[in-house]
Amino acid sequence: MSGSKLSKSVENNELPDVPLGMTVHALPQPGDVVQADAQRTQLGRWKMIALMLVCAAPVIASYFTYYVVRPEGRRHYGELISPQVELPQVEVKNLQGEPVSLHDLKGQWLLVTVGSGRCEARCQENLYFQRQLREMMGKEKDRLDRVWLLSDDAPVDAGLLPALNHAHVLRVDGAVLQAWLKPAAGHDVSEHLYVLDPMGHHMMRFPARMDVASAAKAKKDLERLLRASASWDQPGR
């Protein structure tokens, strides 16, 4: 009978009548849990710091190459900004009146000038040298963007627009400019050309009232910066 076969199978595999044993594991103490969480948090922080250092290493190396490892007697023309100033986290407006974040400028080397929308003689000279310096970078020029920051609401002369092709023209509150870009003592913010690195740090300021002779010196500075950062900075955003 089918029932007897089943019974026989069970009978042939009788188990000893021994009570089952149970292993009781001690519950973790609250203090141990807190300590483990703290250790994991600290480990996570160290991993984050290590990741940031790995990402920043090429930038640090390029600055070290440019400012420290250089032939004896070589000098930079631009004045180094220390401490470096980051891009303000503010919204500005383009020429069409549309809101734009200044942080959108990150990702490229920036050559910046400041002026009124009326753009009188000094302003036009700065725009000219800004454009020429970028062109003088040759095949590397796509790694350098031109930025004109307007310090007021004055309309831009239509005659200037063709020369502003591919440039970023943004209206920025005067108070933001004064807190961000620092002119040399005795000079106005509109008298200089400023250099920002691809991470948005204001790191160099060229002397006020650039002319042809000083533009040649500024060109050498820009070439060195682009060359020193060639391993990590790529054209385009």
Give pLDDT, residue 69: 44
Residue 203 has pLDDT above 80, yes or no: yes
Distances (CA, A) of 148 to 17, 77, 113, 198: 91, 22, 5, 17
Specify the long-range contacts of residues 168-171, CB closer than 8 Å, at least 24 apart.
Answer: 168/94, 168/105, 169/94, 169/95, 170/92, 170/93, 170/94, 170/100, 170/102, 171/92, 171/93, 171/94, 171/95, 171/117
Higher-confidence residue of 36 and 99: namely 99
What per-residue confidence (pLDDT) applies to 9?
38
pLDDT tens profile 68-96: 444 444 578 999 998 999 999 999 999 99
DSSP string across 148-188:
EEE-S-PPPPGGGGGGGTT-EEEE--HHHHHHHSPPPTTS-
Which of 37-41, 177-181, 207-211 shows the lowest mean pLDDT across its residues? 37-41
Domain residue ranges of the chain, discontinuous segments joined by +? 34-74, 75-228
User: Looking at the predicted structure, is the pLDDT value of residue 157 above 70?
Assistant: yes
163 or 130, which is more confident: 130
Structure confidence at residue 233 as a pLDDT band (50, 70, 90)? confident
Mean pLDDT taken over the chain = 81
Mean pLDDT of the 228-235 span:
77
Q: What is the pLDDT of residue 231?
A: 77
Task: Say if residue 146's pLDDT is above 50.
Answer: yes
Query: The domain 75-228 is classified under which CATH number: 3.30.9.10, 3.40.30.10, 3.40.50.1260, 3.10.150.10?
Result: 3.40.30.10
All residues at 6 or more sequence positions from 65 whose CB lies less than 8 Å from its CB, including other chains = 228
Residue 66: pLDDT above 80?
no
Q: Is the pTM of this model over 0.85?
A: no
Q: Which of 34-38, 76-80, 115-119, 226-230 has the lowest mean pLDDT?
A: 34-38
* Percentage of the residues of the chain whose pLDDT score is greater than 90: 60
